[in-house]
Structure 1
Amino acid sequence: MNIQPLHLKKGDKIAIVCPANKLKKSITPAVSLFESWGLQVIQGKSVHAAHFQFAGTDELRAADLQTFLDDVEIKAILAARGGYGGIRILDQLDFTSFNKCPKWIAGFSDTTALLSHIQAAFNIQSIHGQMPASFETGTPLSLETLRKALFGEALHYSYSSIDKNRHGQAEGILIGGNLSLLVAMQGSISEMDYAGKILFLEDVGEHEYAIDRMLRMLKRGGKLAGLKGLIIGAFNEIEPQEIPFGQTPEELIMEIVREYDYPVCFNFPVGHIADNNALIIGRNAIMKVGYNEVKLAYK
């Protein structure tokens, strides 16, 4: 059974930390938006720290996150940005207090490592959504979906389909995140259980061959065969190659999963894009992929 943390209410305290790369700019606009939602915002030491490309040393970032995992007054923890570095501190963290008193953890990109770990190890729901560093470029709708996810309001998605989709309907627990990070979790205690799940994937700045290789690794590991459904978000900023790969991400994905019969949809509004809508990892969802429309709703 997946555990749902208590939803936020006005007056609650939330914390912002940087588990990975250091911030390049102020997150004051994000803090102001959180405050307009009626929340009290606490910024961790890592928000203002720097150590080479990281938001402070591994020890500082781990201690910062640990402080808020243990603080029962903090009702949600948001990663300020991604980049790289979360995997370096995962094994330094003690989730004992967090497991006894779950709270929302939210972010995307590199934060997938943390979201994957708490789903795999504790079956605690989390939020894949916009981070403070991306608030200024995020669409108002994407920020509103994050607010709704945190405050427990209904989330329903519907968007125009494309002809590469495989039609059908599925129900199951939603898991997923950044493809590169999900592959990095394989073989560890942070690897989510894929069997019977609806999987969503996104990535940025990868070659087509790297996307192909990572997906084939998941397939060879038996992760794709038992899915209920597959949701493909943005695979953008693909690096050009001197010799073209010959397939788009959509084409290679459909080739890899062609032997399965579950529904597959593309261009879902999630990933390293302005319209990065919030998805709740670990919650039961229903996806409907029709001829010209895709719908996703939580039960």
Structure 2
Amino acid sequence: MIKQPPYLKKGDKIAIVCPAKKLPKSIDSAISILENWGLEVIIGESVYASHHQFAGTDELRTHDIQHFLDDETIKAIICGRGGYGTIRIIDELDFTKFKQNPKWFIGFSDVTILLSHIIAQTQIQCLHAQMPYTFDESTPEALASLKKVIFGERQTYHYSSEFNNQPGVGTGVLIGGNLTLLVMMQGSVSEMDFDDKILFLEDVGEQEYSIDRMLRMLKRAGKLKNLRGLIIGAFNEIAEEKISFGQTAEQVIWDIVKDYDYPVCFHFPTGHIDNNLCMVLGAEVELKVEKNDVQFKYL
């Protein structure tokens, strides 16, 4: 059973850290939003640190995250941004005290490494959601979805897909995140168990051939055959190749998973988009998919 951290209440402390790339802009507006939610915001050393392209050295970022993992007064940790760099520090972090006193860990993109590791190694729920770096561009709905989750309000998502889905109903524990980073976790101690799960995937800046290659790798490894459902989020900012691959990202994905009998939906509002809705990894969910209509709820 995957454990749920305590919900937040007004007055609780939330820490901001940067496990990967440095921040290229101020996040003061995001801090104000979190404070307006009634939270006390603690700024980690890594938030304004700089070491080449990273938010401080590997040692500084590791120490910063470790400090807040261990601090029992901190009730949630949200990553300032993603980028690249989390894989450089993941094996130096000790989650012993985190397991004893669970707290919400929040982020997406490169932070998928931490989310995957937390699910695999601690069996504690965590959140794939907007980060302070993306708050300014976020839809009100995406920010509201994060706020509702951390304060304990159960949610249902409903949307329409232009690309034809594979209808069906599936229930199971939700896992997922950035496709590239999930592939990077395969064969490591940070790899999640895919069997009997509802899997969601998203990615940004990858070309069709790369998406094809990564998904075929997961298929060959047996990661896709025993799912209860597959949620395809945003696959955007795909650079045009000199010679066309001949398929869109959606067509690439559908070609690989069409023979499975579980529900598959496309264009789910999650990923590197303004409307990046909060996804609770480790939560039990129900996915109802019709040809162009999708309903998703936490059980």
1:146 is matched with which residue? Answer: 146
Q: CA offsets per residue over residues 231-280 of structure 1, 9 Å max, x none? A: 00000000110000001111111111122100000000000000000000
Q: Which amino acid letter does the alignment assign opposite residue 168 of structure 1?
A: G
- After TM superposition, the structure 1 stretch with the greater mean CA deviation from structure 2, 161-170 or 246-255, is 161-170
2:46 is paired with a residue of what secondary structure? helix
Q: How far does residue 162 in structure 1 lie from its aligned partner after superposition?
A: 2.9
Q: How far does residue 154 in structure 1 lie from its aligned partner after superposition?
A: 1.2
2:168 is matched with which residue? Answer: 168
- After TM superposition, the structure 1 stretch with the greater mean CA deviation from structure 2, 252-261 or 40-49, is 252-261
1:92 is matched with which residue? Answer: 92
Mapping of 1:149-298 within 5 angstroms?
149-298=149-298
Check the 8 A contact 1:161/1:290 in 2, yes or no: no
Q: CA offsets per residue over residues 203-240 of structure 1, 9 Å max, x none? A: 00001000000000100110000000000000000011
Q: How far does residue 170 in structure 1 lie from its aligned partner after superposition?
A: 0.3
Check the 8 A contact 1:2/1:282 in 2, yes or no: yes
Check the 8 A contact 2:235/2:249 in 1, yes or no: yes
Mapping of 1:4-19 within 5 angstroms?
4-19=4-19
Q: How far does residue 122 in structure 1 lie from its aligned partner after superposition?
A: 1.3
Structure 1 position 78 matched with structure 2 position 94: no
Query: How far apart, in 2, do the equivalents of 1:144 and 1:198 lie?
Result: 23
Q: Which sections of structure 1, spanning at least 5 residues, go unmatched? A: none
Q: Which amino acid letter does the alignment assign opposite residue 87 of structure 2?
A: I
1:82 is paired with a residue of what secondary structure? coil
Check the 8 A contact 1:208/1:249 in 2, yes or no: yes
Q: CA offsets per residue over residues 11-34 of structure 1, 9 Å max, x none? A: 000000000000001110010000
Query: How far apart, in 1, do the equivalents of 2:259 and 2:33 lie?
Result: 46
The normalised TM-score by structure 2 is 0.99
Query: How far apart, in 2, do the equivalents of 1:71 and 1:43 lie?
Result: 14
2:29 is matched with which residue? Answer: 29
1:130 is matched with which residue? Answer: 130
Check the 8 A contact 1:164/1:250 in 2, yes or no: no
Check the 8 A contact 2:163/2:266 in 1, yes or no: no
Check the 8 A contact 1:79/1:131 in 2, yes or no: yes
Q: CA offsets per residue over residues 19-52 of structure 1, 9 Å max, x none? A: 0000001110010000000000000000010000
Structure 1 position 48 matched with structure 2 position 33: no
Query: How far apart, in 1, do the equivalents of 2:161 and 2:84 lie?
Result: 33
Q: How far does residue 284 in structure 1 lie from its aligned partner after superposition?
A: 0.3
1:190 is paired with a residue of what secondary structure? coil
The normalised TM-score by structure 1 is 0.99
Q: How far does residue 72 in structure 1 lie from its aligned partner after superposition?
A: 0.2
Structure 1 position 20 matched with structure 2 position 20: yes
Identical counterparts, % of pairs: 62
RMSD, matched Cα: 0.7
Q: CA offsets per residue over residues 126-150 of structure 1, 9 Å max, x none? A: 0000000000000011000010111
Q: How far does residue 291 in structure 1 lie from its aligned partner after superposition?
A: 3.1
Runs of 4+ in 1 over 6 A off after TM superposition: none
Query: How far apart, in 1, do the equivalents of 2:40 and 2:27 lie?
Result: 15
Q: Which amino acid letter does the alignment assign opposite residue 202 of structure 2?
A: E
